[in-house]
Structure 1
Amino acid sequence: MPHSRPIGIFDSGIGGLSVAAKVRELLPADDILYVADSRHAPYGDKSDDFILERMNTVTDFLLGQGAKAVVVACNTATTSAIAQLRTTWSVPIIGVEPGVKPAVLATRSGVVGVLATPRTLQTHSFSALAARFSSTVSIAVQPCPDLVGQIEALRFDDDRTLELLHRYILPLLEKGADTIVLGCTHYNYLAERIALVAGPDVQIVSTESAVAREVVRRLKCEGLLADSDSIGTEAFHTSGEVAVFGRQIECLWGAVKAVYPL
């Protein structure tokens, strides 16, 4: 039956686990099937065509495993190619966009900063998103080409990561940003450190909670929610090294029975 099928969630790596964790909080009865396309991470330096090919490959796998919906828990993939993905597959497909709108509502200085991968900032989708608010606020963007690699390596506190955070955040502060959007799900794992660098007067905006609420809304509309008395399970797959992903999962999610190759 549809309600017993898993929710498929994927990202280029571990960033989407932050979204999966919020989905788990709101939907404790639903099964979750997570895929990290780690062999091809990061997506932030890949072409749209390559990203779409990977999105189709992973979505085909998730649907082959019975997924009732697919969450593209990656800003780069969402802004690059989610429209094409939705024309190919008929299941609900939920994406992740940088939280520019809530940041615009929150800013007092009128300057919103955005941290994202280079590819996200180059997409037509992001340009259109930013243009919607360009008459209201100034949007300062900062590509962060090296940050995902540090997060994938679980180097949250080493000197290189802190150096990169200062390099990427200080230009936004110099432009007057009092609100900073985390435009990559990986960055959620550095939210506290980003807040420390930015200072107490700067609000950090992420979207994983909003995405999880949208997953609930879509599944409810489609009649796909699991029975409330069920106990949800999780399964984790990776296109990269299973042992490495296993260590990442243990650090960010907790102990799991197994991690599987894609």
Structure 2
Amino acid sequence: MSSTNPIGLFDSGVGGTSIWKEIHQLLPHENTIYLADSKNAPYGKRPKQEIIDLSCKNVDFLLEQNCKIIVVACNTATTNAIKELRAKYDVPFIGIEPAIKPAAHLSETQTIGILATQGTLNSELFNRQVESYQTTKIIEQVGHGLVELIEAGQIESEEMTALLKSYLQPMIDTNIDYLVLGCSHYPYLIPAIKKIIPEHVKIIDSGEAVARQTKAVLEKNNLLNNTTAKGSQIFYANSDPAVLKGILGFSENVFEKEF
């Protein structure tokens, strides 16, 4: 495996680009291939085995592109499928999980909120993580409909604002001081969320931590691209890539492809 081979990332849609942006910022010389399985978004409503099957299909595609490491840029796929992926494939995997640990450690009210998909909140991996923080009150909220609106390009819509208010106000009422975003789509909602939550409530997502972990695993496996050339960035979507282009802010190297 060559160090110049690309980093592969996949998500159930455009949300994982929030993870890609953090990795690209930290590792600008790395080549990347991003796969948006928008046709099957959101994964959060799907049964565990279906999430595993879709994740395997995505990994197969990325390995066909000679990716040297796979970033599962989706909380639901990580919490439901990463164990099976690591057992099946001989390639390093990076997963993402809701950042409960920093929120719990930093919380002064000992009450934190988690906004995530049903698939993530129901997963065994997530519930094991929650059980390790017995002294922290964790308010869980399923973000029904949020991913669908993001995938439809409706981030600033009245419907989005109404949904966010209905999900966030009960958390605010319980005196949370940290809000954990447990879906890679949700960082795109931070501007809208900040208009709703009090200033003292801090928002935490996993993007920077995932980027640092990706670098560490590349270094450990002698796969870090040490060239000085700017890396190539390729994006694939299996449905209309217009929203993906809008989220990224550019259209070059963004392709629609069946997979």
**Fold in common (TM above 0.5):** yes
Cα deviation for residue 106 of structure 1 reads 1.8
List per-residue Cα deviations over 1:24-50 (Å, max 9, x = no partner). Answer: 111111110000011100001001100
Partner of 2:203: 204
Which secondary structure state, in structure 1, belongs to the residue aligned with residue 30 of structure 2? coil
Q: Distance in 2 between matches of 1:43 and 1:156?
A: 19
List per-residue Cα deviations over 1:36-89 (Å, max 9, x = no partner). Answer: 011100001001100000111110110111000000000011111111110001
List per-residue Cα deviations over 1:193-235 (Å, max 9, x = no partner). Answer: 1122111010101110110110000001111011231220111
Corresponding position: 1:137 with 2:136: yes
Partner of 1:19: 19
Partner of 2:190: 191
Q: Does the Cα contact within 8 Å between 1:246 and 1:259 map onto a contact in 2?
A: no
Q: Distance in 1 between matches of 2:172 and 2:256?
A: 42
1:27–1:127 Cα change, 3 Å: same
Partner of 2:241: 245
Q: CA RMSD in A?
A: 1.2
Q: Does the Cα contact within 8 Å between 1:75 and 1:96 map onto a contact in 2?
A: yes
Name the amino acid aligned to 2:165: H
Name the amino acid aligned to 2:37: D
Name the amino acid aligned to 1:224: L
Q: Distance in 2 between matches of 1:231 and 1:258?
A: 17
Q: Distance in 2 between matches of 1:118 and 1:171?
A: 18
Structure 2 length-normalised TM: 0.96
How is 1:13-162 mapped onto 2 (pairs within 5 angstroms)?
A: 13-134=13-134, 136-162=135-161
Corresponding position: 1:255 with 2:254: no
Q: Does the Cα contact within 8 Å between 2:43 and 2:76 map onto a contact in 1?
A: yes
Give structure 2 stretches of 5+ with no counterpart: none
Which secondary structure state, in structure 2, belongs to the residue aligned with residue 2 of structure 1? coil
Partner of 2:6: 6
Identity of aligned residues (%): 36
Cα deviation for residue 247 of structure 1 reads 4.0
Cα deviation for residue 251 of structure 1 reads 3.7
1:253–1:226 Cα change, 3 Å: farther
Name the amino acid aligned to 1:2: S
Q: Does the Cα contact within 8 Å between 1:10 and 1:35 map onto a contact in 2?
A: yes
Further displaced range: 170-179 or 246-255: 246-255
Which secondary structure state, in structure 1, belongs to the residue aligned with residue 180 of structure 2? strand
Name the amino acid aligned to 2:18: S
Name the amino acid aligned to 2:100: V
Name the amino acid aligned to 2:248: L
Q: How many residues align?
A: 258
Name the amino acid aligned to 2:39: R
Q: Distance in 2 between matches of 1:87 and 1:166?
A: 41
Name the amino acid aligned to 2:125: S
Which secondary structure state, in structure 2, belongs to the residue aligned with residue 115 of structure 1? strand
Q: Does the Cα contact within 8 Å between 1:44 and 1:145 map onto a contact in 2?
A: no
Q: Distance in 2 between matches of 1:230 and 1:24?
A: 13
Q: Distance in 2 between matches of 1:67 and 1:253?
A: 24
Q: Distance in 2 between matches of 1:194 and 1:255?
A: 27
